[in-house]
Amino acid sequence: MNRWTMKLLFSKSVLLLLQIFLQIHFLADKNLERYSFQLYRDRPLMRWDNAPHYPHIFNFPHHFHNQNDEVSSSTRTGNLLNDYDLVITEIKKLTK
pTM, two decimals, is 0.75
Question: Residue 16 falls within a domain, yes or no?
Answer: yes
Count, residues in the chain: 96
Distances (CA, A) of 11 to 21, 27, 38, 47: 12, 10, 11, 15
Could you state, in chain order, the average pLDDT of each consecutive group of 10 residues for the chain (96 residues)?
32 52 77 82 87 93 94 90 87 74
Question: Residue 7 falls within a domain, yes or no?
Answer: no
Count the domains in the chain.
1
Question: Residue 28 falls within a domain, yes or no?
Answer: yes
Cβ atoms of 66 and 74 closer than 8 Å? no
- The parent domain of residue 16 ranges over 12-94
